[in-house]
Structure 1
Amino acid sequence: MDRISALRNVEEALAAFEDGELDLADLEREVRGTLRTYATEFEGDLSAYRAESIDEDGREGEDAVDGTVVLAGSKQGARERVRELVDRPGPFAVERFDGE
């Protein structure tokens, strides 16, 4: 999905909300779905990566970093981008994100 298509889909969802065809929860789902599709089908040198925190025992934990999705050219680039956004020094993992 290109940027214009994503914007068009968001505009259509907003119009449906304004016309009473969607409630806020439905609008949020539509917009979230559009953004996830856009991010995971992003064309160019970047890929979507999702971050998950890891506790001291090596298990996934719950943290502000959990579920953060960024576009980056590599896993290391994704880690750096997540650190910039979340300001978290502790361990976390990043994996390519396919939208599911």
Structure 2
Amino acid sequence: MDRISALRNVEDALRAFEEGDVDLTEAERRVAATLRTYASELDGEDDVFRAVGDPAVDGRVVVAASAPAARERVLAAAGIDPDRIDDEGDVPEFDVERV
């Protein structure tokens, strides 16, 4: 799915919500499905990764060039700065897997 198709699908979901054809839950489901499809079909040098593990990050999906870069992006998306983590183990335990 290219970017234009993804935007059209999101627009269709918003229009259906505005017109009362779907409720918010269904509109959210449609938008999320569009984004997942778009992310899983990205072309380019980067890959799509999903975090699996600690609930603070589990299920987060990011685009990155490598697994280590994906870990950093997952932490950033969760609001965790890996450079500011103290020795008390504030880093969630998780792995990243290609989607």
User: Which whole-Å CA distance do the structure 2 matches of 1:29 and 1:90 have between them?
Assistant: 27
SS at match of 1:65: coil
Deviations 1:21-78 (A, max 9, x none): 111111011000000000000111111101022xxxxxxxx42111111001111111
Say which of 70, 74, 85 aligns to 2:66: 74
Match of 1:93 in 2: 95
User: Which whole-Å CA distance do the structure 2 matches of 1:11 and 1:44 have between them?
Assistant: 25
TM-score under structure 1 length normalisation: 0.82
Match of 1:2 in 2: 2
Count of residues in Structure 1 that have an aligned counterpart in Structure 2 = 89
Structure 2 unmatched runs, 5+: 81-89
Match of 2:17 in 1: 17
For residue 29 of structure 2, what is the amino acid of its counterpart? R
Match of 2:29 in 1: 29
User: Which whole-Å CA distance do the structure 2 matches of 1:77 and 1:85 have between them?
Assistant: 12
Could you list the structure 1 runs, at least 4 aligned residues long, displaced by more than 4 angstroms after superposition. none
For residue 41 of structure 1, what is the amino acid of its counterpart? E
User: Which whole-Å CA distance do the structure 1 matches of 2:92 and 2:42 have between them?
Assistant: 29
Identity of aligned residues (%): 55
Q: Is the 8 A contact 2:56 2:92 kept in 1?
A: no
User: Which whole-Å CA distance do the structure 1 matches of 2:23 and 2:94 have between them?
Assistant: 36
